[in-house]
Amino acid sequence: MNGKTLVISGGTRGIGRAIVDQFAENGVNIAFTYNSNEEESKKICAEIEAKYRVKIKAYKLDILEPESYKAVYEEIDKDFDRVDFFISNAIISGRSVVGGFAPFMRLKPKGLNNIYTATVLAFVVGAQEAAKRMEKVGGGSIVALSSTGNLVHTDNYSGHGSSKASLETMVRYAATELAPKNIRVNALSGGPIETDALRAFPNFEELKAEVIKRTPLGRMGQAEDMAPIALFLCKKDSYWINGQTIIADGGSSFT
């Protein structure tokens, strides 16, 4: 892993931030995107460089404008000589999901379209651009962050859950078509993970209590639980895993 390069969307907090640390600890250079918090991005870069002595750069990206990925990758090309891994992690929240984060009878096309754009279309463009660069270095690994919300009912989550189901289908198609280029594509699906995005749910405390109750391992998932699995899916050790959705939820999707 030493000296290779990861491109990850949404690297400033939550699962994305944990993945940045995990890969940097293993000697991987990092190109991560952020939405609006430039100061936090600069702080993260300084911390990672000082702690792990790897190269790290931050790039502004609006995942509701997937085509803007192309310009981001052009900037990455100026700063890094290779791309080996791409992790599609960034999500949207707040006003952008109004009409998408709601009970079924209150869903609106605009909110649903925004969620689909940020979840599926952003993955497609980001992965396409990454694959072009991976092919030049002999292959690579692509990971899309998914959610068990497309398997287990979660209040107000139908917009996200349906988009995550579409994402997992897209992953299987990408995996099949990119395999001849030695590029593997998988999805990593977490049960409810205690992140800032989840804490923004209006019923977070109720949701957390219910998740803990139904999880055999007896707690809620943390961002740090997901990062090592993302790393594994990019290592040669996982070479025979392709086109799969790896569920990491403490067993909660079965109970």
Give the pLDDT confidence of 211-254 residue by residue, as tens digits: 888 899 988 889 999 999 999 999 999 999 999 999 999 998 88
The answer to whether residue 255 sits within a structural domain is: no
Q: Amino acid letter at 1?
A: M
pLDDT tens-place string over residues 64-119 = 999 999 999 999 999 999 999 999 999 888 888 899 989 999 999 999 999 999 99
Please, where are the H alpha helices in 26-157? Answer: 38-52, 69-79, 109-116, 122-136
Return the pLDDT at 64: 96
pLDDT tens-place string over residues 136-178 = 999 999 999 999 999 988 888 899 999 999 999 999 999 999 9
The answer to whether residue 111 sits within a structural domain is: yes
Q: Whole-angstrom Cα distance, residue 31 to residue 21? A: 12
The answer to whether residue 119 sits within a structural domain is: yes
The structure's pTM equals 0.94
Q: Do 45 and 119 touch, CB atoms closer than 8 A?
A: no
Residues annotated as part of the active site: 157, 164
pLDDT tens-place string over residues 196-210 = 777 766 677 887 888
Instruction: Please report which helix (H) or strand (E) contains residue 165, including its range.
Output: helix 158-178
**φ, ψ of residue 114 in degrees (nearest 5):** -60, -45
Q: Whole-angstrom Cα distance, residue 71 to residue 191? A: 33
The domain containing residue 23 runs over which residues? 5-248
* Contacts with 99 (C-beta within 8 Å, 6 or more apart), sequence order: 106, 107, 108, 109, 110, 111, 112
Strand segments (E) across the chain: 5-8, 29-34, 56-60, 85-88, 140-147, 183-190, 245-248
Q: What count of residues does the chain have? A: 255
Q: Do 72 and 127 touch, CB atoms closer than 8 A?
A: no
The answer to whether residue 254 sits within a structural domain is: no
Query: CATH number of the domain that 184 lies in?
Result: 3.40.50.720
The answer to whether residue 30 sits within a structural domain is: yes
Indicate the number of domains in the chain: 1
The answer to whether residue 171 sits within a structural domain is: yes
Start-to-end Cα distance in the chain = 37
Determine the distance from the C-alpha atom of residue 179 to the mean position of all C-alpha atoms in its chain, rounded to a whole number: 21
Maximal CA-CA distance, the chain? 51
Q: Whole-angstrom Cα distance, residue 167 to residue 236? A: 24
The answer to whether residue 151 sits within a structural domain is: yes
